[in-house]
Amino acid sequence: MKNTPHIIQTAEIADTVLLPGDPLRAKYVAENFLENVQQFNAVRGALGFTGTYNGKKVSVFGTGMGMPSIGIYSYELINVFGVKNLIRIGSCGSIQKSVKVSDIVIAMGASTDSNYADQYQLPGTFSAVADFELLSKAKAAADELSLNVAIGNVLSSNYFYCDDVSVNYKWAKMGILGIEMEAFALYLAAARYNAKALCILTVSDSIIEKADMTAQQRENGLNDMIKLSLTMI
């Protein structure tokens, strides 16, 4: 077993890992969707589990919120534990009228308002995009499950509470589907360290239409997203 400052491995970690932000959502996935489950991490409350879904081995791991947090875990999962496929499953706020509450967004690309990419000292602007193979599998799985999905660009923001709300409309003019906080860093890590990454999001609220999920919509919507992510692997 291998260890890092953030992951003390107590069981196998699969080649494919689902990455919810909330560690309790990782626990929920393990308890309600996986079989033969073993917990592989509990350091700092970042719960990680490995089990099987339809006979295929898969892990699920809670990354916390924001690009610095998912940046740490994605780096370690790829470079220390040899993970090949990283699929973020989370939520976003829609900024397009056509993208409704409880819809699912598949992030083909991720823009950002952060300087996260500065660490790579690139002589230009890097386009953070999903792995095409994973994206294709997710679309095929969505069709199989008859799920309404929107595929396009999302914004990975540093700000959950932004003082200037007008920025949402500026990003909307550029075709951004929704706002979340992690995909950009995940896509950069996968690109830099030769792994595959995808971000699948349930629309939890519409920033434009000022609508939120009901409790029932939240449960159903998150379950649909989880089923989609597991069906595609």
Place of tokens 């875990």: 73
Q: Is residue 11 part of a domain?
A: no
Q: d(Cα 91, Cα 104) in Å, to the nearest integer?
A: 9
- Predicted confidence at residue 214, as pLDDT, reads 77
- Predicted confidence at residue 120, as pLDDT, reads 97
Say what the pTM is.
0.96
Q: d(Cα 31, Cα 36) in Å, to the nearest integer?
A: 10
- Predicted confidence at residue 215, as pLDDT, reads 67
Say what the alpha-carbon torsion angle 66, 72, 75, 77 is, to the nearest 10 degrees: -100
Residue type, 204: S
- Any catalytic annotation for residue 224? no
- Predicted confidence at residue 219, as pLDDT, reads 62
Task: Give me the CATH number covering residue 189.
Answer: 3.40.50.1580
Q: How many CB atoms lie within 10 A of CB 82?
A: 11
Q: Is residue 20 part of a domain?
A: yes
Print pLDDT tens along the chain (233 aa): 899 999 999 999 999 999 999 999 999 999 999 999 999 999 999 999 999 999 999 999 999 999 999 999 999 999 999 999 999 999 999 999 999 999 999 999 999 999 999 999 999 999 999 999 999 999 999 999 999 899 999 999 999 999 998 999 999 999 999 999 999 999 999 999 999 999 999 999 998 888 887 767 766 679 999 999 999 99
Q: Is residue 2 part of a domain?
A: no
Q: Tell me which residue range forms the domain holding 215.
A: 16-231
Q: Is residue 6 part of a domain?
A: no
- With CA atoms as reference, report the closest residue to 103 among 17, 220, 227: 220
Q: Is residue 1 part of a domain?
A: no
Q: Is residue 7 part of a domain?
A: no
DSSP state of 45: G
Tell me the per-residue pLDDT of 37-64, one tens digit each, with 9 for 90 and over: 999 999 999 999 999 999 999 999 999 9
Count of domains observed in the chain: 1
- Predicted confidence at residue 220, as pLDDT, reads 67
Q: Is residue 79 part of a domain?
A: yes
Q: Is residue 38 part of a domain?
A: yes
Exactly one of 15, 103, 205, 212 is catalytic; name it. 205
